[in-house]
Amino acid sequence: MSLPKSIEQDLREPSRHYGIRDGACQAVTQGSGEQYLSAFALLLGASPFQLSVLSALPQLIGTGAQLASVKLLRWFPDRKALIRAGTAGQALSWLPILLLPLLFPDFGPLLLILGTTVYFACNQFTTPTWNSFIADHLDEHERGAYFARRAMVMASLSFAALCVAGWLLSLWQDHAFSWMGFALIFAIAGAARWISAVTLAKVEDIHATPSLDTSPSFRRFLAGTSVSFRRFLLFSGAMHAAVLIAGPFFVLYMLRDLHLAYWGYGSWLAAGILGQLLTLRAWGRFADRFGNKALLTVTGFMVPFLPMLYLAGTHLLFLLFVNFLGGVTWGGLALGLQNYVFDAVRPEDRAKAVATYSTINALGWCLGAFMGSWLVHALPSEIIIGQYSLVLASNLPLVFFVSGLLRLAVSGSFLRSFHEARAVEQAPFTQLVWELPLLKPLGQLLVSPLRASK
């Protein structure tokens, strides 16, 4: 039985605030914990293959947890309880992530992979339920602005957490007990998720018994969706595969090949977060006005060129600039991917749609990570064309370049195959480019003096 609209509206506001607070806690966990898991793996002596497994296996296992959570909602429809259980599990997972590799150092990378798998299984267990929960508290025309606002809060705190964590790690980098820095930042990460679980207790669910799993199987659910949504899933999965060819190995390139200090690596990570922070609100307005398909089209043709730029230089300032552009682009792409799922299916199917979307992405994630691991061993570290040769710090920039080429192929092949899921303002591609975050303010700044002089 649904609640009266006036009461439902009163209950929505606290839930929206909780969504922001949860994002804030999650950002601290990401910035002080998740972002440095690969660096901890390197400290434990992980190989490139183990780094690819660290990126791929937790995501793949996590999709199983998502599917299980959707099925569980049929028999246990208390969304708050499921979210709290998964969030508390994330908080407690940081204990085995840190302690087991230190207690059994001979199996350190393997134990870290197992601990991380538990963490992401708990994380993704909550994802379909949380997305269904929060989407029920939002109007379809305000989702872009709300999630952009939430993402900005997350970007701000993640940026701060990244910088502080990088500084803390640098204090112990040359110390015999270099693991102490990781112990401190992982403790902060776990505490942040525990706070999120506690704050959820004060929130009321406006749909106490949601009808979230009306179709009897994922296969029948997928068959009942639109052609555009299925083609969107192919685009998202293929893009994740192309991206993860490079993704696991940036930490290897920065710390092993370029010998950056932890503060330099943290600054590189923070530059990407800063790019998101400065543009997410504009991306949200862009998506609400022109649609998520337009957002995916613009960013989908920007993201292929980001990894290619790592062939052009190794100076820290240049690396910071490239990852800043990456943050700008990925902020828009991630927002468009997330919101397209919400728009393309019925409200009661959102949990299942999110789980299906995440499963496709995880499969692409695994395929790309293992393909990248193979390329690390197959590609040379020197480019020779006739009498011209380019000697690189390692072969990883070539791996990044291949990732960029495949991203371009994915965007060129799939973006035209699906359509916007809701009614939005139509605009030519040239106008969409003009409306890009940072570009439009810069263009107006340059054009205004010219107009004034006429």
Percent of the chain with pLDDT over 90: 30
- Give the model confidence (pLDDT) of 392-429 as tens digits: 778 999 999 999 999 999 999 999 898 887 777 777 77
DSSP string, 389-418: EEE-SSSHHHHHHHHHHHHHHHHHHHGGG-
CA distance 174 to 177: 8
| Helix (H) or strand (E) segment spanning residue 445 | helix 439-453
CA distance 195 to 193: 5
- Give the chain's largest Cα–Cα span: 77
**Taking Cα atoms as reference points, which of 298, 334, 288, 338 lies closest to residue 436?**
298
- Token readout for 215 is 């179709």
Pairing of strands 382-385, 388-391: antiparallel
Which band of pLDDT confidence, cut at 50, 70 and 90, is reported for residue 217? low
Which band of pLDDT confidence, cut at 50, 70 and 90, is reported for residue 443? very low
- Give the model confidence (pLDDT) of 86-103 as tens digits: 889 999 999 999 999 989
| C-beta of residue 121 within 8 angstroms of C-beta of residue 64 | yes
| C-beta of residue 326 within 8 angstroms of C-beta of residue 334 | no
The per-residue pLDDT for 2 is 47
Position 141 pLDDT exceeds 70: no
Q: Which residue has the higher pLDDT, 403 or 206?
A: 403
Q: Counting Cβ atoms within 10 Å, is residue 191 exposed (0-12), middle (13-18) or buried (19+)?
A: middle
The per-residue pLDDT for 145 is 72
**Taking residues 66-80, what's their average pLDDT?**
73
**Average of per-residue pLDDT values in the chain:** 82
Q: Give the distance, in angstroms, between the CA of residue 86 and the centroid of all CA atoms in the same chain.
A: 18
**Taking residues 183-191, what's their average pLDDT?**
93
For residue 190, give the amino acid letter: G
Total Cβ atoms within 10 A of residue 380? 9
Q: Which residue has the higher pLDDT, 167 or 428?
A: 167
| C-beta of residue 183 within 8 angstroms of C-beta of residue 171 | no
Q: Which range has the worst mean pLDDT, 40-44, 107-111, 228-232, 356-360?
A: 356-360
Please give the domain boundaries of the chain with CATH numbers for all domains: 5-205+221-434 (1.20.1250.20)
